[in-house]
Amino acid sequence: MKHNYDTVELNADKTQRIKAQALVEEICDRFNLHNYFGIFSVVIDEAMDMIYNNPELPTDFKSDFVFEQCVNGACFTFKTNEQIFSTVSELIEMLTNEYNILDEGKTLELIFYVNGIDEDELKTRQNHFKVFFKNKTLPTQTTNKLHNTEL
């Protein structure tokens, strides 16, 4: 079963960035969102730049980096114990479908609409359906012929 919610904890150490990046990669693998990996990565990296390039970042800084599968696609959230987010960069505005700054700048939601299944997977499923319905109609036609013959 696919988990539709994950969290990693981050602190003031800049090497923590790799934990967030690893979660993005794992989510793309888990949900077959490889086409979105680049966009997710760039936006998450941009948000982490807002955090880790802040010269006033306290040593006791804490953040939960959260992934949640939502109705429209994927939502990544930074929930911090500090007011970090007052605005977002043009890059974040351009690459996300929605973003929200909440809790007086302590939370940043990044929402991406995912447009369904990728093309190769869709073709594979369509072929499976064709085979399934072809096999399903063949016995029915044979059965109908038998019934007609018996009558």
Q: Distances in Å between the alpha carbon of 71 and those of 14, 17, 122, 135?
A: 32, 27, 20, 34
CA distance linking residue 26 with residue 33, whole number of Å: 10
Q: Which pLDDT does position 10 carry in this prediction? A: 96
CATH number, domain 5-113: 3.30.565.10
- Backbone dihedral region for residue 32 (phi beyond 0: left; psi -120 to 50: alpha; all else: beta): left
Domain ranges of the chain: 5-113, 117-151
Per-residue pLDDT of the chain (151 residues; tens, 9 = 90+): 456 889 999 999 999 999 999 999 999 999 988 889 999 999 999 999 999 999 999 999 999 999 999 888 899 999 999 999 999 999 899 999 999 999 999 999 999 998 765 567 657 767 776 777 687 676 555 445 544 544 4
Helix, strand, or coil (residue 74) = strand
Beta strands, E only, 52-130:
62-70, 73-80, 98-102, 107-113
